[in-house]
Amino acid sequence: MKKIGRKDWLMPEGVPKRIRVYDNGGESVDRYTIVFTHAQSFYLKGLTPYLAMSEAPFHPQGFCQHGEYDHPIDRPMYSHLGKKIKFQDLPGDCQKAVLMDYKDFWGIKD
């Protein structure tokens, strides 16, 4: 049996599995919200990190902001964040921003 590597376990087929992704359909500048789960695994005990961003998080007029809260911002309900979507449904630059943080949190090297 082949041993699975850390990157393959945390990012099967390049998709981060320890996140939840939301889209509010453009109702606000922070259209997309990504909640990073299992924060205690990367030394953020008692905190839930999240990333809020527009469709163009790296553009000078775009928006991309990190935050953390003392409980999951999407539990028990998430309707205030929009509709749940798949990571693959995010625009390319949003995927890039998420992967930068995700890899940093989990210590994943390219």
Q: Is residue 60 part of a domain?
A: no
Give the pLDDT confidence score for residue 96 in this predicted structure. 98
The confidence score (pLDDT) of residue 15 equals 97
Whole-angstrom distance, CA of residue 76 vs CA of residue 7 = 29
pLDDT of residue 1: 64
pLDDT tens sequence across 16-45:
999 999 999 999 999 999 999 998 887 778
C-alpha 34/C-alpha 87 separation (Å) is: 9
pLDDT at site 57: 98
Q: Give domain status of residue 54, yes or no.
A: no
Query: CB–CB of 37/4 below 8 Å?
Result: no
Q: Average pLDDT, whole number, for the chain?
A: 93
Residues of the chain predicted below pLDDT 70:
1-2
Q: What pLDDT was estimated at residue 110? A: 77
Residue 92 located in a structural domain = no
Residue whose C-alpha is closest to residue 106's, from 13, 39, 22, 34 = 39
Residue range of the domain that includes 36:
18-49+69-81+101-110
> Is 88 contained in some domain?
no
